[in-house]
Each structure stands twice: as C-alpha cells, then as structure tokens.
Chains A and B, each alone.
Chain A
Amino acid sequence: MNATSEARAPLLEVTGLAVSFATESALISAVTDVSFKVGDGEIVSIVGESGSGKTAALLGILRLTDRRNTKIEGSVTFRGRRLLDLPEREMRRIRGREIGFISQNPMTALTPVHTIGWQIEEQIRVHLNLAHAVARRRATELLDEVGLPNPAKALDLYPHQLSGGMRQRAVIAMALSCNPSLLVADEPTTALDVTVQAQVLELLRRLRLNFGLSIILVTHDLGVVDEMADRVLVMYAGRVVERAPADLIFEDPWHPYTWGLLASIPPLHGERPARLAAIPGTPPVPTDLPKGCHFAPRCRFRFAPCAETPPRQEDGEHAALCFIDPSGRPRLRAQVLNPSSGQAA
C-alpha cells in the first residue's frame, strides 16, 4: 500500500509549521514545529484531543485562518510551490481545485438555500470553467462515485432532505469535483453513526486505491487511524509528540501520551479490565501551557528533566519528543498497556 517514492519530492511537505493567534492581550501559540510529508496515494493521520492544535495545523496549511490576527510560520511545499508565500489569488485556485477539504460537520460546507447539484456544479464551473451541461454531467458522475443512490435525482435535493451520511458523501463529492491530488479531511466521520462511518471510510480507501488520492485525515479515534493511515502524527498541546508509520504507533509506541491514549480505549474483545487506564487531569489550555514538556503534568513517568523542552528522539521515520531513554521504554510502556501482566498484546 505504501506508495512513497523516495526519488521524487513528496506531494506535500510541511516543515516547522507554527500557527499563532493574536488576542487582545497576547499572541497565543496553537501549533508549534509541525513537520511531515505526504506522498502520492498516502494517508497521513493526525490524532489528538480537542485543543491539541490538529485543526489549527490544517487551517494553517490551507491558509484558511484570518490573516489579520494569525501568524503562520514555517514552510508548506505543495507540488513544488511554497503555499505560505503565494498571493491569495493563487491560493484560492489551489484550494478546492488541487486540495479538497472536508469538515466534520457537512452542514458547514453546504448552503441550505441551494440544491446539492447547484453547489457541486458551481465549484466545477468556477475552477474548471466548464459549461453548465458538462458540469451537471460531472456532478452526476461524482454523486454516483460516492455512492449516493439515484444520483440524477439527488442533484435536485436540498441538504435538509439528505441524511447525515448522505450529506457527508455530497461534501466528499464536492471536495473531489476538481480531481484534487490531496484531500484534507477534518474528523470526517465523527458526526456519523458507526455503520455509516464504515461506508464513508470504505469510500475514502477506494478513492485512494483507484485515483491515487493522498489524504490527510484528522481524527481522535485510534480505531479509524489503524484502519486508514499509512503514517501517523500524534499531537498534544500544539506539538507533534510522536510521529511514526502506523504499524509502529500501535506495535512500538514511544511517547507516554500515545500509551495513555491506547490504554484509555475500552477493548471491544477479550477480557474486560476492572478499570480503564485513564490519563489523570485534563489537556492544558493554549493560554496556559506548562513549561518544558507540555504533557509532563499528566505523565506518571515525569522526572526532573521534564521541566525543560524534551529532545526529539529519532530512528528513521519514527520520532518522539520525550526524555525517556529508549532502554527503559519497554518496561515503562508495559506498566501502562499491560498493567496486570507482562503479556504482550
């Protein structure tokens, strides 16, 4: 599945991305030092809890924040172009045409006063400059592609006439309307029921397979990550605390926060633990970040050095921001993930 070709430049390369928002009193840093690459046909997943900066990072990459009070630093290279340096005019041609966007709530992307067909056609006409009839035919094909029953008829429906799953599919159709090479999906299935989520995830996988679509998938659900992602970024309080190929996130996680996330999910099979290994406390607010390692106040393994910014430990594609020495890692991890026994999962 992993279609990374080392020879060519990646489709998207983000280096040292930082997003901060100006408030009346201070400049609040929402995202610091986020770096990752997305190759052709690759699915990169960003995991994190609310406030971890995953959406802010996406908005920064797409430059969808309000320019007057946000500062975006670092570099974002998409197909050889540096997005952060482009004039807004050109950026507008990339968004929607070369990079598709799906938000968590499909209703934020759909206007209630026009039909689904009108909204998809508008995008095609604006970006690709096609005639009305051609755009309409293309819209019908798209709705068919995303699995809406009776697409020709669905074109004339208004958003309120569709179910949640159907709306999300219409939004996906819209995001795909100009054959983008990258799809950015922010919690695309969080608002959906599990059986509908399964349908939408299946659709995204099929699009990747058939069209080599690259996807940045933001989610808080590690189950979705395991099912979809080739590579994973785990974010906490604005920083990427761990970055690894998906297999390693589940089989050899390095960061105590990743361990905590994995351990706090109740299992669906096998023995039921008496207690869940919850992470104590709550995530910090961006206005009041702890010094040094942001996770330290909730980390059961914190020690004196954690008051300083943790170093990046790296081994190939696997990296984590943590002071824990690799030699001690398996023992500490077992305390979180297999508290009762030394048995490996």
Chain B
Amino acid sequence: MKYDIVCAPSYSLIEMNLNEGESVIVEPGSMAWMDTTIKPKTEMKGGFFAGITRKFGGESFFLNTYTAEEGSGTIGIAPGYSGDIVVRELNNETLYMERGAYLCHVGNIETSATWEGFSGTFAEGMFGLRVSGTGLLFFGSYGDIQEVEVDGQYTVDNGYAVAWEQNLDYSIGRSGRSIRSFLFGDQLICRFHGHGKLWVQTRSPRNLAAWVHPFRRVKSKND
C-alpha cells in the first residue's frame, strides 16, 4: 500500500495505491473515485452493537471495505468538507476524535462511540469517537489542522478540537471568570489536561453557517 495526500490543506484528497489483496476501510460517502480492480463491500463492522455505537459517534452504521481483487488499483478518498487530512500510525493505541473526523483506515482498527457526558452538549454532541488498534488512520476536518504538543494544559475554542491522544482529558468552561465575561457573550472553551498530542482545526463550519444565515430570504407573511 502506498498513499499520497494531494492538495492539502485546502482540498485534501488521499490517493491510495493498493496491491492485490490489500484493502482499506472507508467512511461511507468518502470514496471519490477508484479503479475497476477495486471491489467495495459494505459491512456492519464489528457487528450490530458496534454499528449502533458508531452511529452515536456521528459516523455511519456501515463501513465500506475496498479491496484490490484483480490486480493492484488506486482509490481516491476525500471527506465532505474542504480541509486538511492527518495521517497517524497507531501501534496498539487509542485516539479520541470529534464526530465526523474519521475518514478511513488500513489495518486492524476499531471505531466506537464514547459518552462525552453533558459537557459535550456544548461542543460537538454528547458522543465522541474512540479509535483504537494497530494500523494507519486518516482523519480530517474543515480548515487547516495543526498539531499541538500538550505538556500540562492547553486551551482550544469549543468546536475546534479535531482529535487527541488517550492521555489527554478535557473540561469545558468559559474563558473569563468575571460576571462581565458571562454577560457579554464570552467564548466557551475546552481546556485539555495531560501530556500528549492534540490536533486543532482553524475553521469552524458552524461559524460559516452563522455567517451565511443573514443572506437567506426572509419568510414573507403569506408563506
């Protein structure tokens, strides 16, 4: 297996070359194009329960396995948003990520939902995604992705954390402590603790949507 990530960070795409017999597991909808030598198979990876928990984690119930069956072949994989893609080699490790960040993997990796608690309701939802095992993992987000080496503590705006290593934990709070900060629409932020790598994105789809909102037509009284 060989891969190349092209057009990063604006419109990153994975071009992956599979030898005969090799396969890649891809989030449904993320296959952009592929050679005819590659055959897709849709499965409920890990059984029904794993499918359900994945669904809670903002990913799909089913996962697609693409295998090069009649000789080698190339597959193009890209997420739905325009943005950066990060590759991470997992060696019996666990990563946590926000809903929707998972893209594809090669090897023996499992994805399942994690309960983020009610603190998560302010961020990306009450469930996050837990990815663990051994293999090559690809994840992405809207915007550029920057790697931060957390040594003790780090602050990230709510909704901008893409993924983090298992030794990191976070809590949600307000940036300021004063009453003034509460009254005047202060930011909700995630405070990460521990030691490990953290990936942050530089753009938020939610902010973009909020910007587009005023351009919508106003509903007339007759509608």
Pairing of A with B: no
Residues of A in contact with B (beta carbons under 8 Å apart)? none
